[in-house]
Amino acid sequence: MLTGPNVILTLKIAVAAVTVLLLAAVLAAMRGNYRLHGRLNLLFFTLTLMAVLGLEVVVRILAPDVFDYINRDNTLRRALNWHLWFSVPSTFILPAMLYTGLKGYVRLHLSLAACFAVLWSGTFITGIFFLPPTPW
């Protein structure tokens, strides 16, 4: 059933799963396995992009009112706003980070990676712990 709580729960599972991929990619880079690092990052990028685009299809086309209950509750809306402060910028940095990694622009890639790590940490924490899967 396409409800707001179900969408949030699905996104929480997706965020947790791709975070495992991201951590594996970082570990691969730390061990010097840059080929595996690149492949895992490409998978991370693809799955994250699919989740973002899927969410947009849901909220813009399939069920535009799916999150109305959040907009009616100030606490839920505040939690969503905190989450968006991290997730939206990370969504814009991600393609730049992928591009710089594929092109071998190591310094720029690492600078973007540091910014992305902060933003993704915030995305993870606020998405997993601040957003309830059910209305309070």
* Rounded Cα–Cα distance for residues 19 and 23 (Å): 6
pLDDT tens-digit readout, 83-133:
999 999 999 999 999 999 999 999 999 999 999 999 999 999 999 999 887
Which pLDDT score, from 0 to 100, does residue 135 have?
A: 55
CB-count burial class (<10 Å; 0-12, 13-18, 19+) for 56: exposed
Contact 77, 70 (CB under 8 A): yes
Which pLDDT score, from 0 to 100, does residue 134 have?
A: 67
Q: Rounded to the nearest 10 degrees, how much is the dihedral formed by the CA atoms of 120, 122, 128, 134?
A: -120
pLDDT tens-digit readout, 3-22:
889 999 999 999 999 999 99
* Rounded Cα–Cα distance for residues 72 and 18 (Å): 30
pLDDT tens-digit readout, 18-44:
999 999 999 999 999 999 999 999 999
Q: Which carries the bigger pLDDT value, residue 70 or residue 134? A: 70
| C-alpha to C-alpha distances, 15 to 41, 56, 61, 68, nearest whole angstrom | 14, 16, 22, 22
Give this prediction's pTM: 0.89
